[in-house]
Amino acid sequence: MSATSRQRVFVTGATGFVGSFLTRQLVEAGRDVAILLRPTSDSWRIADVIDRVHVIDGTMEDVAGFAPRLADFRPDAVAHLAWRGVTNQFRNDVSQTLNVAESIALYSSARASGCERFVGMGSQAEYGPVSARLDETVPTRPTTVYGAAKLSTALMLERLAEADGLSFAWLRLFSSYGPKDDLSWLIPYMARRLLAGERPALTPGEQIWDYIYVEDAAAAVAAALDSAATGCFNLGSGEGRPLRSIIEKVRDQIDPNLALGFGEVPYRPDQVMHLEANIDALKAATGWEPRVPIEEGLAKTISWLRTV
């Protein structure tokens, strides 16, 4: 199916980090975009494009409540990025299980509205603590309720879509970064400390980590919407780097003379030392590939952090 036949896209999680960049990319590409907007959502990330999308007021807790407006919009495709409890303190919260039922309810409403393509956002947490370069054949053994809920959602939606003859893909996102990220995550947290002239306390930084720039992650979702590829795909940069080198790149762009407290924080007992995505399958299925070098992505991130 061609991109022109998927012009009408419904996005959940549009005010979130990756979702906001996806929404902007779809709007700027001339798509007809509708977004789900909670009454309590802060739409600051998409303030520049919100007047160019159809806003469907509602919540994932009450899919039936906004289903009539979704049916009126008649989406060709759905990009489902909404998820409660994405920060670390909620990784083992029982509320994670609500995401599963809500995602299935959304799928059912999307199918009833005529949707032909459903793309959901998963997580590397579905694999569990595997220290390796991961491809999609690696067994999934999540050790958090968050990872288990993501995996359960993927499996159930995949089976439903297969039975219904609806095109479905699930993208397992590794670590993303960029402007407008949650300030509590490692890169913005550390960069803000350095911008303030402080010395951040850090682990030894020997972990091999895969960071993908947010615009590349959003572009991958957009490419998946237009693809006929089905199943689960890894979404990362495809290149693992020592965390120490990433931190040093951030420091050097701010001030090479600033001190870094490597080794002042011990590793967690469950610390994963190698988390890297093999993205060959996604690239082959969609034609997408990451385009932003980490030095450029970090520069853009630091530039934004100087303004907050």
Q: What was the pLDDT predicted at 2? A: 41
Q: What was the pLDDT predicted at 272? A: 87
- Ranges of residues in the chain with a pLDDT under 70 are 1-5
Q: How far is CA 228 from the centre of its chain?
A: 20
Region for residue 287 given its phi and psi (left: phi exceeds 0; alpha: psi -120 to 50; beta: otherwise): left
- What Rg do the C-alpha atoms of the chain give, in angstroms? 19
Q: What was the pLDDT predicted at 4? A: 43
Strand boundaries in the chain, DSSP class E: 8-12, 32-37, 54-57, 77-80, 117-123, 132-134, 167-173, 175-177, 208-209, 211-213, 231-235, 241-242, 274-277
Q: What was the pLDDT predicted at 270? A: 82
SS3 151: helix
